[in-house]
Structure 1
């Protein structure tokens, strides 16, 4: 099929316009009938151009020619920043550091494949005499301000590309209103905040909240408008069995838990702990295969315990809610009145 240059330009323009134009009501978009060249060009522009805000996540389904674009946001970052610190401490511990296998943990910079950027990625790389082995151990994705089904579709695509993955973590963050709306024209917020000659600073904006108690359960209301109000934070964790992970199957390889509004994370803690044990055992087996004479007993017998600080993550989420509210206000101010 011949692809005209103007088709590529139009499609690239649509995607870049979505990323560049301030619109707090649209933090996720799906583009249909998109050529692979568009994905490649946009990805290159994002990598090279500091003018593109944050680090958007792109996912391209080549068979369906669908491009998913997720804008950068603090709400995406908070959960996996916390998990990244835990996994990094585990993987870079003394026993694993002595192993001949290289592991890496990243959140947004490492491309898992030619067409997807996960929120969390743990990979294993090892050089043998005959080959270079690259495996994906863990994938993490966060759904915020988007349909959960689109995130599940992305996860399925990632698993299909890397069926060896040992654990998948999906975090779903919902607001009380499924679709955020900016202040309407001539609303109380519009009349108060549009009078300002310049955009309020972060501290000035939040000072307008008054004496409302700071809590995740309380909405952020400024000038009569709700800028962000968290409803729930839920975790889904899958681990691999004899076959590749299947996110459509509800069985003993899946754990669900709620972090907010009520903390019920026991099953999730146990499943992530199981996934970490699987990582340890797999890395030990690979070390033994790469260096048959090496002593891996310390690694194989090392203790693995998942010790999250969920209350700390809740505090991080509170800051992320503050950031989200202010970012929405600033985008609204930058948009045409």
Structure 2
């Protein structure tokens, strides 16, 4: 909010501000060290590919069981059957209505379920709201503290009528500002084209709401990937069956190979210094 406030203060000619707030069930946190989820991923040789990550079971017990079986059969821990990515839309889904369907057809409401993998919630969208401000006539700038702002919702429910009206007014105000600019440059032809141009903006909130479902998977994957590479640097040595994972004080696996000693450079390779 501070960044938006600074932009409005620095550019008082801004006529329309739209902020989208995505609220989660609780503040997100990565798996904590020492938990079964942390231990499970710490023992994987590499970061899971996106499709493979989303095929993992919800429970940590099921994840451990699957990879214990794969280890006993000498298969790679990251070899998983090819699956359809949840990031792709199904053409047969109810996002787009069939042209042959009845006029009173109502698609099923979009439900964005929490994304839980290995007993950890990677993303859980609770609500998404639009906050819209428009600069009033003769006002110096938009007042973000003004109670006249419009708050509309796109999830869990679609209630965007007021936001649409304010956005439409904001676009008309933008058109007027552009016409003023064309008038400054004495371009009568450009000014005429702008004045007769019609602003037609159609919002398909249903499609946007469905896009939130895809975005939740992108967020979950980003949370996992960033956490994995931050904690484990992407690639680790595989553990043997009789090794027990124990993190050390510097957060590196105790079973990791010791760093190789680097011998000092010999005098023959040192650059001579002329006195």
Structure 1 runs of 4+ with >4 Å offset: none
Distance between the aligned counterparts of 1:154 and 1:295, measured in 2? 34
Distance change (3 Å), C-alpha of 1:225 and 1:295: closer
1:220 aligns with 2:115: yes
Q: Please name the residue that 2:210 is paired with.
A: 315
Task: Summarize deviations over 1:77-106 as a string: whole Å, max 9, x none.
Answer: xxxxxxxxxxxxxxxxxxxxxxxxxxxxxx
Q: Pick the aligned partner of 1:201 from 41, 49, 56.
A: 49
Distance between the aligned counterparts of 1:292 and 1:257, measured in 2? 39
The Cα shift of 1:302 comes to: 2.1
Task: Summarize deviations over 1:205-230 as a string: whole Å, max 9, x none.
Answer: 011157xxx76531000011101001
Distance between the aligned counterparts of 2:219 and 2:190, measured in 1? 49
Partner SS for 1:335: helix
Query: Is the radius of gyration larger for structure 1 or structure 2?
Result: 2
Q: Pick the aligned partner of 2:32 from 154, 160, 184.
A: 184
Q: Please name the residue that 2:226 is paired with.
A: 331
Q: Please name the residue that 1:167 is paired with.
A: 16
1:301 aligns with 2:196: yes
Q: Please name the residue that 1:230 is paired with.
A: 125
Q: How does 1:266-281 map to 2 (within 5 A)?
A: 266-281=161-176
Q: Using CA pairs under 8 Å that are at least 6 residues apart, name the structure with larger relative contact order, 1 or 2.
A: 2
Partner SS for 2:203: coil
Distance change (3 Å), C-alpha of 1:196 and 1:318: same
The Cα shift of 1:293 comes to: 4.2
**Aligned-pair Cα RMSD in Å:** 2.0
Contact 2:112 2:213 in 1 (8 A): no
Q: Please name the residue that 2:144 is paired with.
A: 247
TM-score (norm: length of structure 1): 0.50
TM-score (norm: length of structure 2): 0.60
Q: Please name the residue that 2:186 is paired with.
A: 291
Distance between the aligned counterparts of 1:331 and 1:294, measured in 2? 52
Q: Give unmatched runs, 5+ long, in structure 2.
A: 59-85, 87-109, 232-250, 252-275
Partner SS for 1:304: coil
The Cα shift of 1:333 comes to: 1.7
Distance change (3 Å), C-alpha of 1:281 and 1:223: same
The Cα shift of 1:256 comes to: 1.4
Task: Summarize deviations over 1:147-179 as a string: whole Å, max 9, x none.
Answer: xxxx1x2222111111111111111111111x2
Q: Please name the residue that 1:155 is paired with.
A: 4
Distance change (3 Å), C-alpha of 1:313 and 1:294: same
